[in-house]
Amino acid sequence: MSDIYTDGQYLNNNPTWGVEDSPWKAEQILKIIHRNSLQPNTIAEIGCGAGEILYNLSSSLHNVAFYGYEISPQAFALTDRRKKDNLHFYLDNFVDNPEVYVDMVLCIDVFEHVDDYLGFLKKLKLKGKNHIFHIPLDISISSVLRSRPILNGRKTVGHLHYFTKETALATLEDAGYKIIDYFYTAQAIELPRTQKSLITTIAKIPRFLGFKLNQDLAVRLMGGYSLIVLTQ
């Protein structure tokens, strides 16, 4: 991974480390867990940031042990206030720790940041029974025509790789995962931080209406969605 996550640059660009998005992301994770009737005893998140997603999940999933792994010392410092008896955090590279194996691994908006994302995914597969991925779908007709959204994402949040639904799922399959379930998540419509953008606010209605008519077509045309995927 790039040094921006360890040298403080990412924190400078993203001073909240996305904490405000975490309750919404936790809701998406809970939805895919419940609709597949999963009952994990241990859950680990790689690239857990400030730990807010796990903190929210720990309030809803009882009798589960949670573990957060983060390589950024700046983000790890933010986890201290979120520790609980069943929630622990580690400044460690999860995929290279041979002693860790859990029922469920969370990889939430992570592998698009990783240089060797296929190598990373192959290693990650060995670390748990089930995996849940949240993957931003940066490629749409709108983003390609404008180009600015993709370049902004690369500069501010460090996206190195860009996906459609089809290439995201194919990437996971290429890395050896079996796709169990997936659905779109509407971050451009539902996340609080996205409402600060005038363009995003204006696009909210056509994105919502288009998605009601044809999900795949609306996402390909206008973007603004991510994909949550459950795998084995």
List 182's β-bridge partners, or say none: 229
Task: Check the CA dihedral 5-57-177-141 and report its sign.
Answer: negative
Angle between the 198-213 and 215-222 helix axes, to the nearest 10 degrees? 150
Written as six digits, the tokens of 83 are 């520790």
Mean pLDDT of 145-167: 87
* 122: nearest Cα among 48, 175, 79: 175
Q: What is the rounded distance in angstroms from the CA atom of residue 221 to the CA atom of residue 210?
A: 9
In the predicted model, is pLDDT for residue 12 greater than 70? Answer: yes
pLDDT reported for residue 189: 85
Model pLDDT, residue 14: 86
Q: Give the model confidence (pLDDT) of 167-207 as tens digits.
A: 999 999 999 999 999 999 998 888 766 545 666 677 788 88
CB 140 within 8 A of CB 219: yes
Q: Which amino acid is at 3?
A: D
Q: What is the DSSP string of 12-75?
A: HH-TTTTGGGHHHHHHHHHHHHHHTT---SEEEEET-TTSHHHHHHHTTSTT-EEEEEES-HHH
pLDDT band at 138 (very low <50, low <70, confident <90, very high): very high
- DSSP-based three-state secondary structure for 116: coil
- Domain ranges (residues) in the chain: 3-231
At 1, is the pLDDT very low, low, confident or very high (cuts 50, 70, 90)?
Answer: very low
DSSP string, 124-137: HHTTEEEEEEEEE-
Over range 132-146, report the average pLDDT: 93
Average pLDDT over the chain, rounded to an integer: 91
Give the pairing of strands 226-231 and 179-185: antiparallel
Q: Between the CA of residue 193 and those of 2, 11, 19, 219, what are the distances in Å?
A: 25, 16, 10, 20
* Fold annotation for 3-231: Rossmann fold (3.40.50)
Q: Distance between CA 142 and CA 221 in Å, rounded?
A: 6
